[in-house]
Amino acid sequence: MIAIEDVSYSYAEKPVLNHLNATIEDGDFYAVMGANGCGKTTLLKLVAGLLKPTQGKVIVDGKEVGKYTARELAQKMALVRQQAQTDFEFSAFETVLMGRNPYQHHLQNESEADKKIVEECMRRTNTWHLREKKPYQMSGGELQRVMMARALAQQTPIVLLDEPISNLDIAHQFEIMDLLRTINREQRKTLLLVIHDLNMAWQYCDQLLLLNEGGICYQGSLKQGLTPERVEHVFGVNSSIAGDHLILSRK
């Protein structure tokens, strides 16, 4: 479980998040949404321990995030950043293999079991054919799917994802969203997904954490939360529901 308790964060003198309180239960699949600049990525970094709250605390499994060692935290949660970051000298296979580092002891080489996990994760993200390629030989979308494979190879109960489909074509967007829904339902992984696409979130995510003006304006069932009034207030667009689909239009 993730508990966000009275969390505030400021960049220099500029407040970004103010007194956030939320509880993410084990196995939840959350869309973290809001207008540009509302603090979605900042919130994800606070949960990941990359930033320290100006006020309040983030607790994961009963322990404050800042009190975990780096290895312990890497066994708890994996992070897929919006912009894929990796060292250009490593192949895609070696990059995904880094996801196994939290489970290896000092100077220990990767095992055959580790390599099998990497292959499985690369096949699930449709990146196995890229295994010998270096980052500069891949497109942004291909590299993003490799980083998704690395996160899966960490085998953590929590996965944090910052707009992981933003650089993908529509077919691969559906492919990754299908995969996320599968691992959420079959493996009961807790997923926090920062996403801008309201329709994708509507189709795949069960829960919604909606940010607005530095605070949480809604937490709960996504389909109950994305009301026309709330969508207009937060995103400035009109919306309606037709069957099981969310229809958006300009004001």
Whether the predicted pLDDT of 139 surpasses 90: no
Whether the predicted pLDDT of 125 surpasses 80: yes
Average of per-residue pLDDT across 175-180? 92
Task: Tell me what percent of the residues of the chain surpass a pLDDT of 90.
Answer: 73
Residues constituting the chain: 251
Does pTM surpass 0.85? yes
Whether the predicted pLDDT of 169 surpasses 80: yes
Residue 25's Cβ-count burial label (10 Å; 0-12, 13-18, 19+) is exposed
Strands (E) in the chain, as ranges, are: 2-11, 14-24, 29-33, 55-60, 63-64, 77-80, 158-162, 190-194, 207-212, 215-221, 237-242, 245-250
Q: Is 30 helix (H, G, I), strand (E, B) or coil?
A: strand
- pLDDT, one tens digit per residue, over 182-220 is 999 999 999 999 999 999 999 999 999 999 989 999 999
If pLDDT is split at 50, 70 and 90, which confidence band does 14 have? confident
- pLDDT, one tens digit per residue, over 40-59 is 999 999 999 999 999 999 99
Closest CA to 3 of 33, 29, 26: 26
First to last CA, the chain: 39
If pLDDT is split at 50, 70 and 90, which confidence band does 168 have? confident
Task: Tell me what percent of the residues of the chain surpass a pLDDT of 70.
Answer: 97
Average of per-residue pLDDT across 19-39? 95
Give alpha helix (H) positions in 154-227.
170-187, 198-204, 222-225
